[in-house]
Structure 1
Amino acid sequence: MDSWFSPFVLAPEVRDRLNRCNLRRLPGEQTETDDRGLLLVYSTPSAVLDHWRGTEGPPLRVAALQKNFEQLLRLQHRGPLVADWRLAGLDDEPLVQWLQGGPAPRTLAEIPRHSPLNDLVLLNLLRSHPDLEITYREIELQAQLFHSEADTRLLERLGMPFNPDELLRHWCSGVRTSAGWDNPLDRMQRLEQDLEHYLLLCREQQQLLEEQNALNARAVQLSAGG
Protein backbone atom coordinates (compact mmCIF):
# COMPACT_ATOMS: atom_id res chain seq x y z
CA MET A 1 0.00 0.00 0.00
CA ASP A 2 1.53 3.28 -1.08
CA SER A 3 -1.44 5.66 -1.32
CA TRP A 4 -4.16 7.18 0.80
CA PHE A 5 -7.48 8.76 -0.01
CA SER A 6 -9.92 10.93 1.88
CA PRO A 7 -12.95 12.91 0.71
CA PHE A 8 -12.31 15.25 3.64
CA VAL A 9 -9.67 17.91 4.26
CA LEU A 10 -7.14 16.51 6.72
CA ALA A 11 -5.16 18.50 9.25
CA PRO A 12 -1.54 19.26 8.29
CA GLU A 13 -0.09 17.04 11.03
CA VAL A 14 -2.01 14.03 9.70
CA ARG A 15 -0.95 14.72 6.12
CA ASP A 16 2.65 15.10 7.25
CA ARG A 17 2.50 11.76 9.05
CA LEU A 18 1.17 10.04 5.96
CA ASN A 19 3.92 11.62 3.88
CA ARG A 20 6.58 10.45 6.33
CA CYS A 21 5.17 6.94 5.98
CA ASN A 22 5.70 7.20 2.20
CA LEU A 23 1.99 7.32 1.45
CA ARG A 24 0.89 9.61 -1.34
CA ARG A 25 -2.55 11.08 -1.72
CA LEU A 26 -4.72 9.72 -4.51
CA PRO A 27 -6.99 12.48 -5.89
CA GLY A 28 -10.69 11.81 -5.71
CA GLU A 29 -11.25 11.63 -9.45
CA GLN A 30 -8.73 8.76 -9.71
CA THR A 31 -10.43 6.45 -7.23
CA GLU A 32 -12.66 4.99 -9.95
CA THR A 33 -9.89 4.43 -12.50
CA ASP A 34 -6.98 3.46 -10.24
CA ASP A 35 -7.38 0.12 -8.43
CA ARG A 36 -4.34 0.32 -6.16
CA GLY A 37 -4.65 -0.43 -2.44
CA LEU A 38 -5.61 2.57 -0.34
CA LEU A 39 -5.56 3.75 3.23
CA LEU A 40 -9.03 5.29 3.55
CA VAL A 41 -8.94 8.20 5.99
CA TYR A 42 -12.05 9.85 7.37
CA SER A 43 -12.94 12.58 9.85
CA THR A 44 -15.69 12.72 12.44
CA PRO A 45 -18.82 14.63 11.41
CA SER A 46 -17.98 17.22 14.09
CA ALA A 47 -14.55 17.81 12.59
CA VAL A 48 -16.05 18.19 9.11
CA LEU A 49 -18.48 20.82 10.40
CA ASP A 50 -15.65 22.67 12.12
CA HIS A 51 -13.60 22.75 8.94
CA TRP A 52 -16.39 24.04 6.73
CA ARG A 53 -17.37 26.65 9.29
CA GLY A 54 -13.85 28.03 8.99
CA THR A 55 -13.86 28.32 5.19
CA GLU A 56 -15.21 31.02 2.94
CA GLY A 57 -16.42 28.63 0.28
CA PRO A 58 -19.97 27.46 -0.44
CA PRO A 59 -21.90 26.03 2.52
CA LEU A 60 -21.67 22.34 3.29
CA ARG A 61 -24.57 20.27 1.99
CA VAL A 62 -25.98 17.30 3.88
CA ALA A 63 -26.18 15.28 0.66
CA ALA A 64 -22.49 15.92 -0.03
CA LEU A 65 -21.50 14.89 3.50
CA GLN A 66 -23.56 11.71 3.22
CA LYS A 67 -22.06 10.96 -0.18
CA ASN A 68 -18.52 11.34 1.17
CA PHE A 69 -19.08 8.80 3.94
CA GLU A 70 -20.85 6.41 1.56
CA GLN A 71 -17.93 6.67 -0.87
CA LEU A 72 -15.57 5.44 1.84
CA LEU A 73 -17.80 2.45 2.54
CA ARG A 74 -17.89 1.60 -1.17
CA LEU A 75 -14.09 1.71 -1.31
CA GLN A 76 -13.41 -0.37 1.79
CA HIS A 77 -12.48 -3.39 -0.35
CA ARG A 78 -9.44 -1.34 -1.41
CA GLY A 79 -7.99 -1.00 2.08
CA PRO A 80 -8.58 -0.22 5.76
CA LEU A 81 -10.73 2.62 7.05
CA VAL A 82 -8.92 4.82 9.58
CA ALA A 83 -10.06 7.93 11.46
CA ASP A 84 -7.69 10.87 11.15
CA TRP A 85 -7.70 11.52 14.90
CA ARG A 86 -6.56 7.95 15.57
CA LEU A 87 -3.67 8.40 13.14
CA ALA A 88 -2.66 11.54 15.04
CA GLY A 89 -2.11 9.41 18.15
CA LEU A 90 0.35 7.00 16.52
CA ASP A 91 4.11 7.15 16.09
CA ASP A 92 5.51 6.85 12.60
CA GLU A 93 7.45 3.61 13.03
CA PRO A 94 4.59 1.48 14.46
CA LEU A 95 2.30 2.88 11.77
CA VAL A 96 4.74 1.89 9.02
CA GLN A 97 5.06 -1.60 10.51
CA TRP A 98 1.28 -1.96 10.55
CA LEU A 99 1.03 -0.80 6.94
CA GLN A 100 3.52 -3.54 6.07
CA GLY A 101 1.39 -6.21 7.73
CA GLY A 102 2.50 -5.92 11.34
CA PRO A 103 0.28 -5.71 14.43
CA ALA A 104 -1.96 -2.71 14.94
CA PRO A 105 -0.39 -0.22 17.36
CA ARG A 106 -2.34 1.47 20.13
CA THR A 107 -3.36 5.05 19.50
CA LEU A 108 -2.75 7.53 22.30
CA ALA A 109 -5.32 9.97 20.98
CA GLU A 110 -8.84 10.45 22.26
CA ILE A 111 -11.75 11.45 20.10
CA PRO A 112 -11.64 15.26 19.88
CA ARG A 113 -14.34 17.32 21.52
CA HIS A 114 -15.79 20.35 19.82
CA SER A 115 -17.72 23.41 20.86
CA PRO A 116 -21.26 23.13 22.28
CA LEU A 117 -22.47 25.05 19.24
CA ASN A 118 -20.94 22.45 16.95
CA ASP A 119 -22.52 19.65 18.98
CA LEU A 120 -25.93 21.32 18.90
CA VAL A 121 -25.86 21.82 15.13
CA LEU A 122 -24.65 18.27 14.52
CA LEU A 123 -27.23 16.78 16.89
CA ASN A 124 -30.09 18.42 15.00
CA LEU A 125 -28.50 17.50 11.69
CA LEU A 126 -28.29 13.82 12.61
CA ARG A 127 -31.81 13.77 14.03
CA SER A 128 -33.21 15.18 10.81
CA HIS A 129 -30.99 12.94 8.62
CA PRO A 130 -30.63 9.62 10.48
CA ASP A 131 -28.99 7.94 7.48
CA LEU A 132 -25.92 10.09 8.06
CA GLU A 133 -25.49 8.80 11.61
CA ILE A 134 -26.10 5.22 10.46
CA THR A 135 -23.46 5.50 7.73
CA TYR A 136 -20.89 7.03 10.08
CA ARG A 137 -21.56 4.32 12.68
CA GLU A 138 -21.09 1.63 10.02
CA ILE A 139 -17.73 3.15 9.10
CA GLU A 140 -16.66 3.09 12.75
CA LEU A 141 -17.68 -0.57 13.04
CA GLN A 142 -15.65 -1.45 9.93
CA ALA A 143 -12.64 0.74 10.73
CA GLN A 144 -9.24 -0.07 12.20
CA LEU A 145 -9.63 1.27 15.75
CA PHE A 146 -6.02 0.89 16.93
CA HIS A 147 -7.27 -0.49 20.27
CA SER A 148 -9.68 2.39 20.89
CA GLU A 149 -13.46 2.20 21.18
CA ALA A 150 -15.73 2.59 18.18
CA ASP A 151 -17.64 5.86 18.14
CA THR A 152 -21.05 4.19 17.98
CA ARG A 153 -22.81 6.36 20.57
CA LEU A 154 -22.49 9.67 18.78
CA LEU A 155 -26.09 10.77 19.32
CA GLU A 156 -25.90 9.93 23.01
CA ARG A 157 -22.63 11.83 23.37
CA LEU A 158 -23.97 14.88 21.56
CA GLY A 159 -27.09 14.87 23.74
CA MET A 160 -25.17 15.12 27.01
CA PRO A 161 -25.79 18.27 29.11
CA PHE A 162 -23.57 21.24 28.32
CA ASN A 163 -22.79 24.61 29.82
CA PRO A 164 -25.29 27.12 28.37
CA ASP A 165 -22.89 30.01 28.99
CA GLU A 166 -20.28 28.23 26.88
CA LEU A 167 -22.83 27.81 24.10
CA LEU A 168 -23.71 31.51 24.22
CA ARG A 169 -20.04 32.45 24.17
CA HIS A 170 -19.48 30.52 20.95
CA TRP A 171 -22.70 31.85 19.46
CA CYS A 172 -21.82 35.47 20.18
CA SER A 173 -18.16 35.30 19.25
CA GLY A 174 -18.62 34.21 15.65
CA VAL A 175 -14.86 33.95 15.41
CA ARG A 176 -13.42 31.83 12.67
CA THR A 177 -10.26 30.36 14.04
CA SER A 178 -7.37 29.27 11.88
CA ALA A 179 -5.37 27.35 14.49
CA GLY A 180 -2.97 24.91 12.91
CA TRP A 181 -3.22 26.48 9.46
CA ASP A 182 -0.79 29.40 9.83
CA ASN A 183 2.03 27.84 7.87
CA PRO A 184 1.92 28.95 4.19
CA LEU A 185 2.47 25.37 2.99
CA ASP A 186 -0.37 24.13 5.20
CA ARG A 187 -2.62 26.87 3.86
CA MET A 188 -1.73 25.97 0.28
CA GLN A 189 -2.50 22.29 0.91
CA ARG A 190 -5.82 23.22 2.47
CA LEU A 191 -6.71 25.46 -0.48
CA GLU A 192 -5.79 22.65 -2.86
CA GLN A 193 -8.17 20.23 -1.17
CA ASP A 194 -10.86 22.90 -0.81
CA LEU A 195 -10.66 23.50 -4.55
CA GLU A 196 -11.09 19.80 -5.24
CA HIS A 197 -14.14 19.74 -2.97
CA TYR A 198 -15.66 22.72 -4.79
CA LEU A 199 -15.06 21.10 -8.18
CA LEU A 200 -16.71 17.89 -7.01
CA LEU A 201 -19.68 19.86 -5.70
CA CYS A 202 -20.01 21.63 -9.05
CA ARG A 203 -19.97 18.30 -10.88
CA GLU A 204 -22.62 16.91 -8.54
CA GLN A 205 -24.80 19.97 -9.02
CA GLN A 206 -24.40 19.74 -12.79
CA GLN A 207 -25.36 16.06 -12.71
CA LEU A 208 -28.43 16.81 -10.60
CA LEU A 209 -29.41 19.59 -13.00
CA GLU A 210 -29.07 17.29 -16.01
CA GLU A 211 -31.15 14.61 -14.29
CA GLN A 212 -33.82 17.16 -13.41
CA ASN A 213 -33.89 18.47 -16.99
CA ALA A 214 -34.27 14.92 -18.27
CA LEU A 215 -37.18 14.32 -15.89
CA ASN A 216 -38.82 17.58 -16.96
CA ALA A 217 -38.42 16.70 -20.62
CA ARG A 218 -39.89 13.26 -19.98
CA ALA A 219 -42.84 14.80 -18.12
CA VAL A 220 -43.51 17.19 -21.01
CA GLN A 221 -43.30 14.30 -23.48
CA LEU A 222 -45.76 12.20 -21.49
CA SER A 223 -48.10 15.17 -21.09
CA ALA A 224 -48.05 15.85 -24.83
CA GLY A 225 -48.61 12.20 -25.60
CA GLY A 226 -51.56 12.06 -23.20
Structure 2
Amino acid sequence: MDGRYDEVLTAQIQQMDRAQRHQAVFLALRRLQAPLLDIEMPRGWGVDPAAVDSLLRCSTARLDGEPDDAFQQAITGLSRAPLFESEVDPELAESFQLEAIGGWILVGEALGEMSEVQTDRIIVLAREQAVYLDECIDSTLTMVADEGLRERYLANAASRLRAYSLGYFATRNLEVEGRCHETILADSPGDGLLTSEAGRELLNRCDDYSGEMVSALRGFPT
Protein backbone atom coordinates (compact mmCIF):
# COMPACT_ATOMS: atom_id res chain seq x y z
CA MET A 1 0.00 0.00 0.00
CA ASP A 2 1.30 3.43 -0.96
CA GLY A 3 0.08 6.34 1.15
CA ARG A 4 1.01 8.78 -1.58
CA TYR A 5 -1.95 7.55 -3.62
CA ASP A 6 -4.79 7.03 -1.15
CA GLU A 7 -7.97 5.88 -2.90
CA VAL A 8 -10.30 7.75 -0.55
CA LEU A 9 -8.50 11.05 -1.07
CA THR A 10 -8.35 10.49 -4.83
CA ALA A 11 -12.10 9.84 -4.92
CA GLN A 12 -12.68 13.10 -3.06
CA ILE A 13 -10.64 15.02 -5.64
CA GLN A 14 -12.69 13.43 -8.40
CA GLN A 15 -15.87 14.82 -6.81
CA MET A 16 -14.56 18.40 -6.78
CA ASP A 17 -15.19 21.15 -9.29
CA ARG A 18 -12.41 23.44 -10.47
CA ALA A 19 -12.75 25.95 -7.64
CA GLN A 20 -12.77 23.19 -5.04
CA ARG A 21 -9.66 21.62 -6.56
CA HIS A 22 -7.96 25.00 -6.32
CA GLN A 23 -8.88 25.18 -2.64
CA ALA A 24 -7.47 21.69 -2.11
CA VAL A 25 -4.09 22.51 -3.69
CA PHE A 26 -3.94 25.81 -1.82
CA LEU A 27 -4.33 23.97 1.47
CA ALA A 28 -1.81 21.30 0.43
CA LEU A 29 0.80 24.00 -0.20
CA ARG A 30 -0.23 25.78 2.98
CA ARG A 31 1.09 22.68 4.74
CA LEU A 32 4.48 23.37 3.13
CA GLN A 33 4.41 27.12 3.75
CA ALA A 34 6.23 27.56 7.07
CA PRO A 35 9.70 26.69 5.68
CA LEU A 36 9.28 29.59 3.25
CA LEU A 37 8.35 32.03 6.00
CA ASP A 38 10.29 30.86 9.04
CA ILE A 39 13.61 29.65 7.64
CA GLU A 40 15.94 32.09 5.92
CA MET A 41 16.88 31.19 2.37
CA PRO A 42 20.52 31.18 1.28
CA ARG A 43 21.65 34.64 0.19
CA GLY A 44 23.13 33.17 -2.96
CA TRP A 45 19.66 32.30 -4.18
CA GLY A 46 18.90 36.00 -4.46
CA VAL A 47 15.27 35.49 -3.43
CA ASP A 48 13.66 38.72 -2.24
CA PRO A 49 11.52 38.02 0.84
CA ALA A 50 9.08 40.61 -0.51
CA ALA A 51 8.62 38.49 -3.63
CA VAL A 52 7.78 35.45 -1.50
CA ASP A 53 5.38 37.53 0.60
CA SER A 54 3.70 38.85 -2.55
CA LEU A 55 3.28 35.33 -3.94
CA LEU A 56 1.73 33.98 -0.74
CA ARG A 57 -0.50 37.02 -0.36
CA CYS A 58 -1.75 36.78 -3.95
CA SER A 59 -2.31 33.05 -3.58
CA THR A 60 -5.10 33.70 -1.06
CA ALA A 61 -6.91 36.37 -3.08
CA ARG A 62 -8.72 34.04 -5.50
CA LEU A 63 -9.30 30.33 -5.18
CA ASP A 64 -11.56 29.67 -8.16
CA GLY A 65 -9.05 27.94 -10.43
CA GLU A 66 -9.35 30.66 -13.05
CA PRO A 67 -6.44 32.68 -14.53
CA ASP A 68 -5.19 35.36 -12.13
CA ASP A 69 -2.97 38.14 -13.46
CA ALA A 70 -1.81 39.32 -10.01
CA PHE A 71 -0.82 35.80 -9.01
CA GLN A 72 1.01 35.22 -12.30
CA GLN A 73 2.89 38.50 -11.85
CA ALA A 74 3.92 37.42 -8.37
CA ILE A 75 5.27 34.14 -9.77
CA THR A 76 7.11 36.04 -12.50
CA GLY A 77 8.64 38.35 -9.91
CA LEU A 78 9.88 35.43 -7.85
CA SER A 79 11.21 33.53 -10.89
CA ARG A 80 13.58 36.42 -11.70
CA ALA A 81 15.75 35.41 -8.73
CA PRO A 82 19.25 34.08 -9.58
CA LEU A 83 18.12 30.80 -8.01
CA PHE A 84 16.38 29.88 -11.25
CA GLU A 85 19.45 30.48 -13.39
CA SER A 86 21.83 28.05 -11.71
CA GLU A 87 22.01 24.59 -10.20
CA VAL A 88 21.79 24.39 -6.43
CA ASP A 89 22.73 21.69 -3.95
CA PRO A 90 20.22 22.32 -1.17
CA GLU A 91 20.48 21.23 2.42
CA LEU A 92 17.44 19.52 3.94
CA ALA A 93 15.43 22.59 4.94
CA GLU A 94 16.32 24.30 1.68
CA SER A 95 14.95 21.35 -0.30
CA PHE A 96 11.57 21.93 1.36
CA GLN A 97 11.70 25.58 0.37
CA LEU A 98 12.45 24.66 -3.24
CA GLU A 99 9.63 22.12 -3.38
CA ALA A 100 7.15 24.64 -1.97
CA ILE A 101 8.17 27.23 -4.55
CA GLY A 102 7.92 24.59 -7.27
CA GLY A 103 4.42 23.75 -6.08
CA TRP A 104 3.26 27.35 -6.46
CA ILE A 105 4.72 27.45 -9.96
CA LEU A 106 2.68 24.33 -10.77
CA VAL A 107 -0.44 26.11 -9.49
CA GLY A 108 0.29 29.00 -11.85
CA GLU A 109 0.58 26.60 -14.76
CA ALA A 110 -2.68 24.86 -13.80
CA LEU A 111 -4.89 27.95 -13.49
CA GLY A 112 -7.59 28.01 -16.14
CA GLU A 113 -7.70 24.22 -16.18
CA MET A 114 -6.90 22.83 -12.70
CA SER A 115 -7.63 19.30 -13.86
CA GLU A 116 -7.79 16.28 -11.59
CA VAL A 117 -4.34 15.23 -12.79
CA GLN A 118 -2.82 18.66 -12.08
CA THR A 119 -4.52 18.81 -8.70
CA ASP A 120 -3.31 15.34 -7.76
CA ARG A 121 0.24 16.18 -8.81
CA ILE A 122 0.42 19.20 -6.49
CA ILE A 123 -1.25 17.45 -3.58
CA VAL A 124 1.04 14.42 -3.94
CA LEU A 125 3.97 16.83 -3.63
CA ALA A 126 2.90 17.60 -0.06
CA ARG A 127 2.52 13.88 0.66
CA GLU A 128 5.98 13.11 -0.73
CA GLN A 129 7.62 15.85 1.34
CA ALA A 130 6.01 14.41 4.46
CA VAL A 131 7.30 10.93 3.63
CA TYR A 132 10.75 12.36 2.93
CA LEU A 133 10.90 14.15 6.28
CA ASP A 134 9.92 10.95 8.10
CA GLU A 135 12.65 9.06 6.25
CA CYS A 136 15.21 11.69 7.25
CA ILE A 137 14.12 11.50 10.89
CA ASP A 138 14.38 7.70 10.85
CA SER A 139 17.86 7.74 9.32
CA THR A 140 19.46 10.48 11.42
CA LEU A 141 21.53 9.96 14.54
CA THR A 142 20.37 13.38 15.71
CA MET A 143 17.56 13.43 18.27
CA VAL A 144 14.65 15.30 16.71
CA ALA A 145 12.39 16.96 19.29
CA ASP A 146 8.92 15.61 20.21
CA GLU A 147 9.65 11.97 19.42
CA GLY A 148 7.29 10.84 22.17
CA LEU A 149 4.49 13.02 20.85
CA ARG A 150 4.90 11.55 17.37
CA GLU A 151 4.84 8.00 18.70
CA ARG A 152 1.66 8.65 20.71
CA TYR A 153 -0.02 10.18 17.68
CA LEU A 154 0.77 7.15 15.51
CA ALA A 155 -0.48 4.77 18.17
CA ASN A 156 -3.86 6.50 18.16
CA ALA A 157 -4.21 7.33 14.45
CA ALA A 158 -7.17 5.98 12.50
CA SER A 159 -6.70 2.36 11.44
CA ARG A 160 -7.09 3.26 7.75
CA LEU A 161 -4.08 5.56 8.03
CA ARG A 162 -2.03 3.19 10.21
CA ALA A 163 -2.45 0.52 7.53
CA TYR A 164 0.09 2.37 5.38
CA SER A 165 2.78 1.99 8.07
CA LEU A 166 3.91 5.56 7.45
CA GLY A 167 5.74 7.86 9.81
CA TYR A 168 4.29 10.72 11.80
CA PHE A 169 4.39 13.50 9.23
CA ALA A 170 3.10 11.39 6.35
CA THR A 171 0.26 10.03 8.47
CA ARG A 172 -0.70 13.40 9.88
CA ASN A 173 -0.55 15.03 6.47
CA LEU A 174 -3.04 12.45 5.15
CA GLU A 175 -5.29 13.08 8.14
CA VAL A 176 -5.28 16.85 7.66
CA GLU A 177 -5.70 16.49 3.91
CA GLY A 178 -8.74 14.28 4.42
CA ARG A 179 -10.30 16.86 6.75
CA CYS A 180 -9.61 19.57 4.17
CA HIS A 181 -11.26 17.58 1.38
CA GLU A 182 -14.32 16.74 3.49
CA THR A 183 -14.82 20.40 4.44
CA ILE A 184 -14.33 21.60 0.87
CA LEU A 185 -16.91 19.15 -0.46
CA ALA A 186 -19.40 20.05 2.27
CA ASP A 187 -19.09 23.80 1.69
CA SER A 188 -21.73 25.64 -0.32
CA PRO A 189 -20.35 27.21 -3.53
CA GLY A 190 -19.58 30.90 -3.23
CA ASP A 191 -19.65 30.97 0.57
CA GLY A 192 -15.98 31.93 0.93
CA LEU A 193 -14.66 28.78 2.54
CA LEU A 194 -11.45 30.19 3.99
CA THR A 195 -13.22 33.10 5.69
CA SER A 196 -15.72 30.78 7.38
CA GLU A 197 -15.23 29.21 10.79
CA ALA A 198 -14.65 25.81 9.17
CA GLY A 199 -12.14 27.35 6.76
CA ARG A 200 -10.21 29.06 9.53
CA GLU A 201 -10.02 25.73 11.34
CA LEU A 202 -8.48 24.16 8.22
CA LEU A 203 -5.93 26.96 7.96
CA ASN A 204 -5.00 26.49 11.62
CA ARG A 205 -4.60 22.74 11.15
CA CYS A 206 -2.39 23.24 8.10
CA ASP A 207 -0.33 25.92 9.84
CA ASP A 208 0.15 23.81 12.97
CA TYR A 209 1.34 20.91 10.83
CA SER A 210 3.65 23.16 8.81
CA GLY A 211 5.07 24.66 11.98
CA GLU A 212 5.90 21.18 13.26
CA MET A 213 7.77 20.51 10.03
CA VAL A 214 9.91 23.59 10.64
CA SER A 215 10.63 22.51 14.22
CA ALA A 216 11.78 19.10 12.96
CA LEU A 217 13.86 20.59 10.15
CA ARG A 218 15.65 22.89 12.61
CA GLY A 219 16.70 19.84 14.59
CA PHE A 220 18.98 18.64 11.80
CA PRO A 221 22.60 19.84 11.63
CA THR A 222 23.43 22.29 8.81
Same fold flag (TM > 0.5): no
* Structure (1/2) with the larger strand percentage: 1
Give the TM-score of the pair, scaled to structure 2: 0.27
**Structure of larger gyration radius:** 1
The structure whose RCO (Cα within 8 Å, separation 6+) is larger is: 2
* Structure with the higher fraction of residues in helix conformation: 2
What is the TM-score with the length of structure 1 in the denominator?
0.26
